[in-house]
Amino acid sequence: MELSVLWKLSYGMYAIGTLDGTRPTGCIVNTVAQITSTNPVIAVSMNKNNFTYEAIKKTGRFTVSILTEKTAPNVIAKLGFCSGRDTDKFDGKDFAWKALDGLPVVKDNCAGHLVAEVLSMTEVETHYIILARVKDAQPCTNFAPMTYKYYHEVIKGSAPKNAPTYQASAAQKTTSGSTTEKWVCSICGYVYEGDLTKEPADWVCPICKQPKSKFVKQ
């Protein structure tokens, strides 16, 4: 079996928003899919270890912010590489958010926002497949929705272990066959192509904002 075939599946990029009591929290997922058309139901694959899973279980509702190619990297860094267990992700310092039907959504540059109510959670290995009824859907901009491919190939971001599409052997790969020098961010997996030593001392990872010292030469 050649697992790399799975990389050819297509996905989008989304920010899930929910509440931990009254505190907004959430995370990045690439696994939102529409399951039914009438009275639409969506599915999300959520890692059991994600704090967002616990919050959704308690709240029973969540939002989906459909990210676009204009979404600031800070949104993905804060929501996709930190945990709401120890980080106040919606503290307003790295990106702006607003409430929609009482739940947090990313304010700027999204293609649209959904509000969904949980119907069921089915345990599948490391994840829960959350089925949820769409209760509200609001358009935002006409910017191109960010695909997972765009995130990997243009932004050169990677996915952490909790993403269902994570494959350890692929975590540090970019364009195959390239002989360019590569430096990999040990925090988020972002791949810098070229001579990183030539960047200024205050250069930081565009995804997770870590300094050059966190990069390992491949």
Ligand X SMILES: Cc1cc2nc3c(=O)[nH]c(=O)nc-3n(C[C@H](O)[C@H](O)[C@H](O)COP(=O)(O)O)c2cc1C
Round to whole Å and give the CA distance between 16 and 12.
Answer: 13
Binding of residue 171 to ligand X (CB under 6 A): no
136 sits in which H/E element: strand 127-139
CB of 59 to ligand X, least distance (A): 13
Contact residue for ligand X among 105, 159, 191, 208 (CB under 6 A): 159
CB of 171 to ligand X, least distance (A): 11
Contact residue for ligand X among 40, 112, 145, 160 (CB under 6 A): 160
Minimum CB distance to ligand X smaller for 82 or for 196: 82
- In sequence order, what are the beta bridge partners of 145? 68
Binding of residue 95 to ligand X (CB under 6 A): no
Contact mark string toward ligand X, 26..45, x via CB under 6 A: -xxxxx-------------x
Of 38, 66, 40, 43, give the one whose Cα is nearest residue 56: 43
Minimum CB distance to ligand X smaller for 42 or for 76: 76
> Is the torsion defined by CA of 25, 139, 118, 157 positive or negative?
negative
Minimum CB distance to ligand X smaller for 120 or for 197: 120
Query: Cα dihedral angle (201, 209, 165, 122), rounded to 10 degrees?
Result: 160
Binding of residue 65 to ligand X (CB under 6 A): no
Binding of residue 84 to ligand X (CB under 6 A): yes
Contact residue for ligand X among 42, 103, 163, 185 (CB under 6 A): 163
In terms of DSSP H, where are the helices of the chain?
A: 51-59, 73-81, 148-153
Secondary structure letter of residue 68 according to DSSP: B
Round to whole Å and give the CA distance between 20 and 102.
Answer: 12
Binding of residue 189 to ligand X (CB under 6 A): no
Binding site for ligand X (CB under 6 A): 25, 27-31, 45-47, 50-52, 76, 80-85, 151, 159-160, 162-164
